[in-house]
């Protein structure tokens, strides 16, 4: 049987330690895995990108306080010799006001020495009621695509 939350899918090192600490809501241990000059790149929301371990601490402090039952699950992971670790993961919990929250996505971590030095971050809220694939295509192209052929 694997480790709780899929941690056994992660290679030994800072990403695995960071997720283990985050699952325990251990902010100090989690932040200790990030380089001081850590860079978070959020391609789908460029204005959310940031630099620095201090912002990691601020973000996760808010998450742990605002979602006291926050859980993290590792669904799959891969690593390469260049020091990148690809992680498909999700998080779920209930905000203090009773609203459930759920996110899912991928994070591509870059490592330097024994630190997390950067990530490309693709975690997004799960939308269970946003319509099927046809509705998504119609919304993307701004028109009714039924019967339209490329």
pLDDT tens figures, 28-81: 999 999 999 999 999 999 999 999 999 999 999 999 999 999 999 999 999 998
pLDDT above 90 covers a percentage of the chain that reads 78
What is the rounded average pLDDT for all residues in the chain?
Answer: 92
What per-residue confidence (pLDDT) applies to 2? 47
pTM of the model: 0.87
Q: Is 13 exposed, middle or buried (0-12, 13-18, 19+ CB in 10 A)?
A: middle
How much is the pLDDT for 43?
97
Residue 148 has pLDDT above 70, yes or no: no
d(CA 109, CA 95): 27
DSSP code, position 114: T
| CATH 3.40.309.10 given to domain 4-141 | no
């Amino acid at each position: 049987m694997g480790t709780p939350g899929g941690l056994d899918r992660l290679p030994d090192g800072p990403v695995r330690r960071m997720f283990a600490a985050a699952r325990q809501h251990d902010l100090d241990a989690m932040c200790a895995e990030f380089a001081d000059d850590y860079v978070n790149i959020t391609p789908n929301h460029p204005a959310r990108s940031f630099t620095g371990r201090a912002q990691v601490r601020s973000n996760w402090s808010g998450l742990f306080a605002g979602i006291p039952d926050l859980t993290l699950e590792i669904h799959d992971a891969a690593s390469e010799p260049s020091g990148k670790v690809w992680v498909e993961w999700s998080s779920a919990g209930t905000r203090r006001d009773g609203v459930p929250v759920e996110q899912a996505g991928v994070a591509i971590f870059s490592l330097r020495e024994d630190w997390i030095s950067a990530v490309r971050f693709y975690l997004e809220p799960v939308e269970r009621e946003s319509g099927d694939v046809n509705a998504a295509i119609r919304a993307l192209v701004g028109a009714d695509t039924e019967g339209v052929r490329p």
